[in-house]
Amino acid sequence: MTAIVPPVRQGGGLTSGEAARRLERDGENVVPRAAPRNLPGRVARQLADPMILLLCAALGVVLVLGDRVDAAIIGAVVVLNTVIGVVQEVRAEHAVAVLDELASPEARVRRDGRYVELPAAQLVVGDEVRLEAGDVVPADLSLVEAVALEVDEAAMTGESVPVRRDTGAEVLSGTVVTRGRAVAEVVRTGAESGLGRIAGLIAATGLRPTPLQRRLSRLSRQLVWITAGLAALVLVLAVLRGAPLADSLILAVSLAVAAIPESLPAVVSVALALGALRMARRSAIVRWLPAVETLGSVSVLASDKTGTLTEGRMAVRRTWTAEGGCEVDGPAYGRGGALRGESANGAAVERLLRDVVLCNDARLTPAGDTWTGIGDPLEVALLVAAARLDERLLEASHEWRRIDEVPFDSETRSMTTVHENDAGARLSVVKGAPEVVLDRLADTAGANRARAEAQAMARAGLRVIAVVEVPVAGAPELAGLIGMLDPPRDDAAAVVSACRAAGIRPLLVTGDHAETALAVARQVGIARPDGEVVDGDVVARGEHVDRVDRIDVYARTHPEQKVDIVDAWQARGHVVAMTGDGVNDAPALRRADIGVAMGRHGTEVARQAADLVLADDDLRSVVTAVAEGRRIYANIRTFLRYGLSGGLAEVLVILLAPFVGIATPLLPGQILWINMLTHGIPGVAFGGEPLDPRLMQRPSPSPERSVLGDGLVRRILVGGAMIAAVSIAGGLLARAFAWPTTTVVFLTLGLAQLALALALRAPRSTRGLGERALEVSVAVAIGLQVLAASWTPLQDLLGTRTVEPAAWAAVLTLALVPGVAVKMTTDRRRGRTAQPASSPGSGASPSWK
């Protein structure tokens, strides 16, 4: 359907059929990507992990010593973990590829005589593309028409200052339009474009590890050295007790293998990559994988207003001219509604609405009983208001052709267009913020009257636009004021409440008038009774720094002032998430710990600057993403608690059992079997544990905290000591009742670790299988552990013996003790920490509660 408001340039573009033929001939407009690693490369990557290297070294030792049974078990452990690692790496790369597709930019392309929005990947040579401020250039383009166009080419040339580009010049893909607008023709796409050629040079570069992965890699190396030291100690003690050197060496090697959580890399990979994919399914698209872990630490959320807390569908609700005011009713984009009031049928309001049609870059298309708009929601709303008075006003550009313009700029907060009719008469229209536009008027009394009316509209929660006409040979004249409303989303108040409950401080940072911003902040619950409202001038003078904890609303802010707001909170130790959708938001999005861009109505430059893109422009997705970040971090810590507790228990059993009369508590093959069962599938299952709702009822963890911090080391020591104690107790009972001692210790040690896994699981919200992976994997491991002491082939392999029912009763009772104790203490601690507490840098009790 043809848009009523015509584009800047008539003609040009391709038909859909011709575009399809060229797309098939040239391929999609995508830059080269790194070639996926082949299978040998993936296996080599897994084997290069320090903990896997230790396993391989152990395998070499037992092969040299001729112990084929233990070599087979160690080999099985290496193969199992390598397979799991490769599978998770493939899944992680697939998840990132899906995210790339979801985050791919779009372009406004002329097809079949009208502009449509298409994925940039579908551009072909010869397409006509429209560019506006905030767009990322989607391909190499030749400018057919350029109006005050400036392009940031830093990504391609390193030039830090935007450069002007005129008609006939080329702009390269990957550069950013910072000012003006243009119509251009695609001349190169994909690998042939400027960005494509650069991307081809770096295509072999893989994904870099996240900060958390680097910290855990350091932890892995430390564990390897600690384990090697403990293995050496066990070797020395065994030799001193008179054991043969070969047997002592095999025991020490087996203990080293069992003591390290070699599933850790797979757990981290699956948690991060699948966490990002889960976010994408909830419309939160992660553009940079480290953002997944950082999200869990967010303590301040600085939110934009329009389209984030509000619906993003502006609607004109009031007009005002020298003849009086009018109320405008009807649904936001509906074709119904009308102007009602004392001047509804006057010439002044018709002139005002004609002017906002002329000074406008949006497009409006009828779709039954509604309008479909392309462009800035504010400008679309102005066109809808004009149509409510008279749809013929939308054709004003036919009578008054645009011959020049000064596009909207965040610094001047205004837009100017110059028009000419067939008679040669010229007309200039200026629209923008009242405090800027009204200063142009020579009529001081009229300007003051308009300012008073603008303030009254703002206090009512309306966003106010002033419009001034400038005849060629006359003084500027006030056309009027337009009051617009962008109502808060239905769920905005609930989102703000959820943020507060999670210890996240919500702020409103906007370019709107202070009264308008405060009205919205009060409706959604951001503005506290004693909270302050400041404007950008206060921030510019630095007066906000010492009182950031008292300020709820920042109004009339400029791009550099948004950066200052982020800096002030970060200086207090907070992790800041900033939302935005415009070009002026990009610096703050980049400076924030987590930049959040709007995917539906946001500019491409904002999306490129952000770490997280909300595909549905819904702030609820940020809360979902924060919860996912906390879930991932909590699951990794839970796995570390589980894996290191089990490894410590095995070390303690080998070291301490001989001192109580159990000379050989475990055989090497039994140690390796336990390790394979407990650190294999059950270990990786921790990465997919569901969210504990209580994680969202307390402040974010500090990103500076060690992954083993907050008492985790103490809990590992206690858990390992309890498992070791019940295992040794089982051995003493076995010796007293003439049960097979080694088998009883073997069964108790393995089952106690699996019971601990069940005790550490996160609370379940449903009974679905999707949340039961841990229980299923533990059940399988328990079955294999029981089978190891009852099935003859495994008995021969592991050196176990059949035990009588009384021994089984003792084993099961002892194995449950650590799990039950941990479960009880964990539940008590969860209950204590469910109440919101302070977050970093805010003192003992946050002032925003």
Catalytic center residues: 304
Identity (one letter) of the amino acid at 81?
Answer: N
Rounded Cα distance, 809 and 600, in Å: 61
> Would you say 353 and 336 are in contact if contact means Cβ atoms under 8 Å apart?
no
Rounded Cα distance, 511 and 744, in Å: 71
- Find, among 414, 408, 366, the residue nearest to 387 by Cα: 366
Rounded Cα distance, 193 and 716, in Å: 55
Rounded Cα distance, 609 and 629, in Å: 20
Identity (one letter) of the amino acid at 125?
Answer: V
For residue 129, the SS3 value is strand
Q: At what angle do helices 620-656 and 245-259 cross, to 10 degrees?
A: 160
- Find, among 308, 354, 314, the residue nearest to 331 by Cα: 314
Rounded Cα distance, 664 and 671, in Å: 12
Beta strands in 304-446 (DSSP E): 315-321, 324-328, 339-341, 363-367, 370-374, 401-409, 414-420, 426-432
DSSP 699: P
Residue 176 CA neighbour count, 13 Å, CB half: 21
Rounded Cα distance, 6 and 784, in Å: 72
Tokens 């940039």, located at residue: 120
Rounded Cα distance, 497 and 539, in Å: 26
Other beta carbons within 10 angstroms of residue 605's beta carbon come to 24
Other beta carbons within 10 angstroms of residue 788's beta carbon come to 23
Residue 793 CA neighbour count, 13 Å, CB half: 1
Burial (CB < 10 A; 0-12, 13-18, 19+), residue 659, is exposed
Structure tokens at 352: 């005002």
Backbone phi, psi, residue 787, to 5° = -60, -35
Backbone phi, psi, residue 408, to 5° = -60, 140
Distances (CA, A) of 499 to 282, 671, 698: 17, 47, 10
Distances (CA, A) of 467 to 378, 432, 450: 14, 7, 11
- Find, among 418, 437, 419, the residue nearest to 478 by Cα: 437
| 3-class DSSP string for 259-280 | HCCCCHHHHHHHHHHHHHHHHH
- The residues, any chain, with a CB within 8 Å of residue 499's CB and separated by 6 or more, are 301, 505, 506, 623
Structure tokens at 518: 């405060």
